[in-house]
Chains A and B, each alone.
Chain A
């Protein structure tokens, strides 16, 4: 019994929760450099949590079986989310110091949000799922509005909160319907109960649709994407970076688990919804991004487009689909880490970069930086030989395995449209003549440089040794 109590502290989520409180107190009692120290501690805590997740054995989680589940898929996405938040804390540190936003609460909020995401990914129960989503979202609402004296930051926080609360309400309503008609909130029990029936009754279909709407909001799939560009634009850049990199990972894992565990036998019912979300996201992401002049809005639409591709793999709903989703999510995270590491270090006339047209002439003044941006853009567009191509390639393999030919063709067409705006960034950097030189300066801290180099290395060199990631993702079970 005593032995068990000690073991409890080695459950990654409990460890992270306790450490987050320690971080909060740590920051509170520090007089100087509170932000910097708390960030470092947060990174350290997250690193330890990765180790714990990696060595986590099922027995530790046994007590929470009805609330949380345990599988290789869950662990993979947990590690992905943790890596993402480590990277985004490190790359945003200098930015926060640069704009004099030194609240030590920020890394703590990131920690709590990451904790929420880990619980989201692992949740095996409607109730724990809802609570985890709320923990994650509430931290992010505050983070979006953290720059208190800025109107746009406050606006983005409030907008995010109102729409997020609305979607949570819809989600909860869906849960209540599902509970009402199946009599259970446990994923496995719902699945067991539903396996007795050939088709869903009307109440359950309503419940399913409501939950799908809520989840689509969380992954920002079209038509529930409206908040994304506004929140991305309004929030401070580094918070935007966190939004782009991490919560998507958890939300995608959650939507996968929700579709494939309790409703695994009702593929036809939910796949229609996901199919529509996927096509709409790909095309809206591709077309709406063309007209953007703000780099953050552009990346918002680009992330909407990426979600569309990940949902293709969900429609495929086979082992290849799970593999494709994990490879795609990995590449998505790496590419976003790399692009935000650059954006958070680029200053134009002493302001952080916002307008795409300010990149003009970057290839002259900072050839290495512009080359890196080009590589990331080509990778996002899915042009081989970079990692982004392999993400898309595996998605299409999964789709064709399921004979989704029309969806795959639509997917590649959308990828051609989206190539246009990625190429536009390269065009601005390389083809346009700069009016005056030396306005852009690129200052990057040593730690961000390591993160940037590592992620670029992965983007470029994935092709030489793909088996490492692919073997891991091939072994994942939901």
Chain B
């Protein structure tokens, strides 16, 4: 299918999902508050730790706030556009409703990934962007246009890592009947992304830099704002993110072969 057609289909799906979301406005505000409370929790943790120390792995308090809020920004964009669809996959497989996806003349991975939308997280992404700005302001840093553009591109690259991990985890549902725990797994594993890269050593650093680049997801964009562009780490980030996405996509298609439709 032509990429432009897929883009148009995605816009139609967004419009449909938006209409559905706006039918439950109270739910929208409730979820904004819930997601915000989890962000406050992360900032409170930073506050408590820096109550006892001045720097962690070379990162000051305000630099850490930029790191944590950048991570939140990526996660909220992911939660808005891609996560809701992916988390529905275990249910689609268990109930056999994946049949309806497979019958459509569109790549199933695309349909599964983009079928749902949540607008609440976008409000929280705005708050995270504001906190990032506040952190930079406190540090007296005014980013250049080039570093801002690079930051935005790196955010997109970070989305790929989120996507790869969750696509891999939800694809386990083709082997495991009830795989609701994968969401817990996603949130547990992604705690790594909030760590300063310099804090990780040994096998942990190698694993989460080269195999699953979680240590790069928020670190590279945040470091670009704080310390300027570093072509080497940026290229590594792009390469590992694309590899992880490709691997997850292959795993999804491998799982799809095992799927037995409800009617067969």
User: Are A and B bound to each other?
Assistant: no
